[in-house]
């Protein structure tokens, strides 16, 4: 089945057509800047535009940067607060005029990696971390998703961990790679002491430069870079939509 995947990030909205049997992107992956602190109208307009460009009649899956609890948006830390409390599938389906499935963006990326990437065939507990504007997290136990974990917002030194350890922090603070890698190591070690995972998968745009920090990490669990790189969110959202039958 061919489905459309949309990955809403704090910085960019990415979208593409996906062969959900293989996880392969079909054609061009589109990327448009996310409106700063955008609300449903502004972001909805962007999504409607990219979906129209893709011109595919299949299901539409959308990865949203916040927990989706029984369809309801619970938080939207990098977007406008007017998202909170909205019925996500209904909101996007009405805006696009077609059925939409909505999943947390990190859950979508992790789902893709478990199906087609670095997590494929792994049993036990696998933690996916997406490093970007913030830190997204997704946990899989024996291949099953534990949805809506927000481990990017655990408190370290009195502040959200993502303030210090997200990819954006390295840029905004002009940190050397080694310094940022030590922060990331501390963050991963802190989460690991809560979960004791078998594998950590790192995703997000920064993974294209993994050779600059991966060897510096000092953590207990093995760490792998997402094989699907920054396309994981798009692939996961599309695959999830196809498997859910366009609902949820």
pLDDT for 245 equals: 73
pLDDT for 151 equals: 96
- What would the mean pLDDT of 187-211 be, rounded to a whole number? 96
- What would the mean pLDDT of 36-52 be, rounded to a whole number? 96
Just give the CATH number of 122-226.
3.30.420.40
3-state secondary structure labels for all residues of the chain: CEEEEEEECCCEEEEEEEECCCCEEEEEEEEEECCCCCCHHHHHHHHHHHHHHHCCCCCEEEEECCCEECCEECCCCCCCHHHCCCEHHHHHHHHHCCCEEEEEHHHHHHHHHHHHCCCCCCCCEEEEEEECCCEEEEEEECCEEECCCCHHHCEECCEEHHHHHCHHHHHHCCCCHHHHHHHHHHHHHHHHHHHCCCEEEEECHHHHHHHHCHHHCCCCCCEEECCCHHHHHHHHHHHHHHHHCCCC
- What would the mean pLDDT of 165-183 be, rounded to a whole number? 96
Just give the CATH number of 2-107+231-244.
3.30.420.40
pLDDT band (50, 70, 90) for residue 65: very high
Q: Report domain extents, the chain.
A: 2-107+231-244, 122-226
Is 34 a residue whose pLDDT tops 90? yes
Q: What percent of the chain has pLDDT over 70?
A: 99
pLDDT band (50, 70, 90) for residue 146: very high
- What would the mean pLDDT of 56-64 be, rounded to a whole number? 95
The pTM of the full predicted model, rounded to 2 decimals, is: 0.94
Is 248 a residue whose pLDDT tops 70? no
Tens of pLDDT, residue by residue over 88-127, are 999 999 999 999 999 999 999 999 999 999 999 999 999 9
pLDDT band (50, 70, 90) for residue 10: confident
- What would the mean pLDDT of 53-82 be, rounded to a whole number? 95
pLDDT for 155 equals: 95
pLDDT for 246 equals: 47
pLDDT band (50, 70, 90) for residue 48: very high
- What would the mean pLDDT of 83-91 be, rounded to a whole number? 97
pLDDT for 70 equals: 95
CATH topology identical between 2-107+231-244 and 122-226: yes
Mean pLDDT, rounded, of the chain: 95
């Amino acid at each position: 089945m061919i489905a459309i995947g949309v990955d809403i990030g704090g910085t960019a909205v990415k979208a593409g057509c996906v062969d959900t049997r293989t996880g392969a992107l079909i054609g061009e992956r589109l990327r448009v800047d996310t409106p700063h602190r955008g609300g449903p109208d502004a972001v909805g307009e962007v999504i409607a535009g990219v979906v129209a460009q893709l011109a595919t009649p299949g299901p539409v899956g959308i990865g949203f940067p916040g927990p989706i609890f029984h369809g309801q948006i619970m938080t939207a830390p990098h977007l406008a607060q007017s998202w909170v409390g909205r019925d996500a599938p209904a909101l996007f389906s009405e805006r696009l005029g077609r059925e939409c499935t909505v999943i947390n963006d990190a859950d979508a990326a992790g789902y893709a990696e478990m199906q087609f990437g670095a997590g494929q065939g792994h049993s036990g507990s696998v933690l996916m971390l997406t490093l970007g504007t913030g830190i997204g997290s997704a946990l899989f136990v024996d291949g099953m998703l534990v949805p809506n974990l927000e481990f990017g917002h655990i408190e370290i030194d009195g502040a959200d961990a993502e303030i210090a350890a997200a990819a954006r922090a390295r840029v905004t603070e002009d940190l050397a790679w080694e310094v940022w890698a030590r922060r990331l190591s501390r963050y991963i070690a802190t989460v690991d002491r809560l979960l004791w995972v078998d594998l950590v998968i790192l995703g997000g745009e920064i993974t294209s430069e993994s050779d600059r920090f991966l060897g510096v990490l000092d953590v207990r669990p093995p760490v792998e870079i997402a094989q699907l790189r920054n396309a994981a969110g798009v692939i996961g959202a599309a695959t999830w939509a196809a498997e859910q039958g366009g609902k949820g």
